[in-house]
A and B are shown apart, each in its own frame.
Chain A
Amino acid sequence: MTLVGWLQISLTLIAVLLAVKPLGLYMNRVFAGERTFLSPVFKPVEWAFYKAAGIDEKREQNWIGYTFGVLLFSIAGFVSLYVILRFQDVLPLNPQGFPAVAPDLAFNTAVSFITNTNWQSYGGETTMSHFSQMAGLTVHNFLSGATGMAVAVALSRAFVRSHMTTLGNFWVDMTRATLYVLLPLAVVVALIFVAMGMPQTLDASVTATTLEGVKQVIATGPVASQEAIKQLGTNGGGFFNVNAAHPFENPNAFSNYLGVFAMLVVSSAMVYTFGQMTGNRRQGWALLSAMGLLLVVGIGAVYWAETSGNPILTHLGLDPLQGNMEGKELRFGQSGSALYTAVTTGLSNGGVNTMHASLTPLGGLVPMFLIQLGEVLPGGVGSGLYGMVVFAILAVFVAGLMVGRTPELLGKKIESREMKYAMLAVLVLPLAILGFSALAAILPVGLAGLLNKGPHGLSEILYAYSSAAGNNGSAFAGLTANSPWYNTTLGIAMLLGRFAYIVPVLAIAGSLVAKQKVPASSGTFPTDTPLFVGLLVGIIIILGGLQYFPALALGPIVEHFLMLAGQTF
């Protein structure tokens, strides 16, 4: 670890912090339907959309109506993406002449993109036509992000309103998130990305004759436009097989900083929006502090583990100075790689600029663990916020048990109904992750996909289901996941991680919105103090993380000690 490395990490994070307030305030205005500087352009467009779709902007929905909106929209997205992938051979913009995507892979990919997971069982440049990349994958990078934001906004409203049943209109919230937030940001970031060196062309490839006279076919395409929304919408589904490790998807250190910034900024600002909406900005900062604290520890842990290197290789006569360089790109260095690795998994982004499979055991444990904590650091756009509010509900409940008072969060009493839904949401992840991992670890179809032997093989399986259920999308890519078993079970894990979480969250919102907002009294446990931040961090680690320790002990932890002992497989 170097001072300069930490400086690069800190400055990137500081830039995000500086953007949180203005973007948070702006999003608050957008979701309240107030006028913004983009209204003259987008208001007429918005109205035209509502007219065409038969939406009454003023008509709000209760939690059941809102949930149906989310589900129906996701189903429509799934069908449209599945059809595009299955028929890409006859659709336009297929300069590479790629065949239709196989049914199990099309199912997996469509689920992956509508759930904001963006797990890639395929290699982008060898599978997807430009049309599939643009009208298929790019679209759902926007829409799955906007859906998550809408759900978070609905939950936020439940803390503001009293004695009501409605939470807003899903169609309006989702359209506004797309038009006023994601699209303008994506346009700006995409153009900066092109200036930094990312290709943006409809050509399929450049054919070069190398200095040694060999023909080199370089795959290219509309990369920048997809990369921008891939980061902003915390999607992570890249244009190329190796994602943001590809020089076209991440040409230099500056595109790496901007990529990390773009990943973090919307999710972090959503937390500020939550504080602003609920009239308690300190609450927003408290949640953000808990997220930031754990994230910075994660970045530091990866950075430390990777610069410490792999002693097995060092013994062969390597200079330990560079650290573990297998699966890393020189232009990012260890600090840029560690920053990206921790942020992409603390968020539910899942893009990678480093091959996570080749990280040292502890360096690889961190991204896996950050996913298992429930993708709340600061998590996906919207999904990170509602995930964190669920943890906050659990935290006030535990605090309430300790002091013997009815728990409250932002003036809303947390009672058994909310607790049941919160526990339902929180328990879905370990069920999907550990359940499927256990099956894959004993079934021949599961073991057939492994590249690495020994404990690293178990890590490949555990990482895959963590990533799918956590809607992350990164991988220990030694695993050959493009098989019917993995495509199907990972698809189911993604659906559970997304919708078996969203439905209880909206049910909590439906329950809270009907309750009276009680003013804070001397007996109220304040939820915007450092004490609460500490409690929240504890709850996230104990409730979110502890259950994975037995599995982690058999994977990365035992591998760490075997590596130190020089054992190979």
Chain B
Amino acid sequence: MLAQLRPAIVLTLILTAVTGLLYPLAITGVGQTLFSAQANSSQVMRGDVVVGSSLIGQNFTKDIYFWPRPSATSPDAYNAGSSSGSNLGPTSQVLVDRVKASVDALKAGGATGLLPADAVTTSASGLDPDISSDYAKLQIERVAKARALPAETISALVAANTRHPVLGIFGETGVNVLALNMALDDVKK
């Protein structure tokens, strides 16, 4: 048994160096060279200012912007330093109360009919960058009014920023909220 102590210790050290330092650092080097934008967190720039990451949702609360899904991160919604889902189970009263409050708020804002589920449920990460096209459509009127723009203009922007499944099969239909809102701001200028 003692004879096996040496391989246990030596291999742990060597393989730590190979798989724990050499491997991740090599991937970092190659990744930074070949896929610099992605390796550096897919930052979105406006001029010289980093306004976010195209992969990470951010909180929009003003009427002139499309709103994202509710987020369960703390202490604030869309805290990208501490991802979290609500972890509430399907029979949780806390969940039901929270969803009801969201439903009431949307209805108070003029929403009618059945509401898209993503509009009132928190995502797994609390950082979901997307909303469904149904939820985007639900917000067109509010955004148009707040921006004093025709609803058709906003509608066309939503359509242009809707991502469809590749070949009609791979992936899901969705709208990246940050991209859509940046396109909105560009219209204003």
Q: For residues 102 through 129 of chain B, which have their beta carbon under 8 Å from a beta carbon of chain A?
A: 103, 107, 114-118, 120-129
State the CA gap A355–B32 with chains docked (Å).
31
- Is there contact, CB below 8 Å, between A319 and B117? yes
Measured in the bound complex, the distance between the Cα atoms of B7 and A383 in whole Å is 23
Are A183's CB and B40's CB within 8 A?
A: no
* Shortest Cβ distance from residue B168 to the other chain A in the assembled complex, whole angstroms: 7
Residue among A54, A252, A354 making CB contact with B124, cutoff 8 Å: A354
Inter-subunit contact A54/B10 (CB<8 Å):
yes
For A55, what are the chain B residues with a Cβ–Cβ distance below 8 Å?
7
Q: Are A569 and B78 touching (Cβ within 8 A)?
A: no
In the complex the two chains form, is B20's CB within 8 Å of A248's CB? no
Number of interface residues of B (CB under 8 A): 101
CB–CB A225/B65 < 8 A: no
Is A212 touching B60 in the complex (CB atoms < 8 A)?
A: yes
Q: Tell whether B159 is near chain A: CB-to-CB under 8 Å.
A: no
Closest CB-CB distance, B95 to chain A, in whole Å? 7
Q: Interface 1/0s, chain A 194-234, versus B by CB < 8 A?
A: 11111111110111111110101111101011100100000
Identify which of residues 517-569 in chain A touch chain B, using a CB-to-CB cut-off of 8 Å: 559, 562-563, 567-569
29 A-B contacts (beta carbon < 8 Å): A49-B11, A53-B6, A65-B4, A77-B12, A123-B83, A139-B19, A142-B15, A191-B34, A195-B35, A197-B42, A206-B40, A208-B53, A212-B60, A224-B27, A241-B82, A312-B96, A318-B117, A319-B115, A319-B134, A321-B117, A322-B116, A330-B131, A355-B86, A361-B89, A456-B89, A559-B89, A567-B91, A568-B91, A569-B92
When A and B form their complex, which 9 residue pairs have the shortest distance between CB atoms, in order from nearest? A245-B124, A456-B89, A253-B171, A135-B20, A355-B85, A200-B31, A319-B114, A139-B20, A53-B10
Interface residues of A (CB under 8 A from B): 4, 7-8, 11, 49, 52-55, 65, 68-69, 72-73, 75-77, 80, 123, 125-126, 134-136, 138-139, 142-143, 171, 174-175, 178, 183, 186-187, 190-191, 194-203, 205-212, 214, 216-220, 222, 224-226, 229, 240-242, 245-248, 251-254, 257, 309-310, 312-313, 316-333, 336, 352-355, 357-361, 364, 451-456, 459, 476-478, 559, 562-563, 567-569
Residues of B bordering A, CB below 8 Å:
1, 4-16, 18-21, 23-24, 26-28, 30-32, 34-35, 38-44, 49-53, 55-62, 65, 69, 78, 80-93, 95-96, 99-100, 103, 107, 114-118, 120-132, 134, 165, 168-172, 174, 178, 181-182, 185
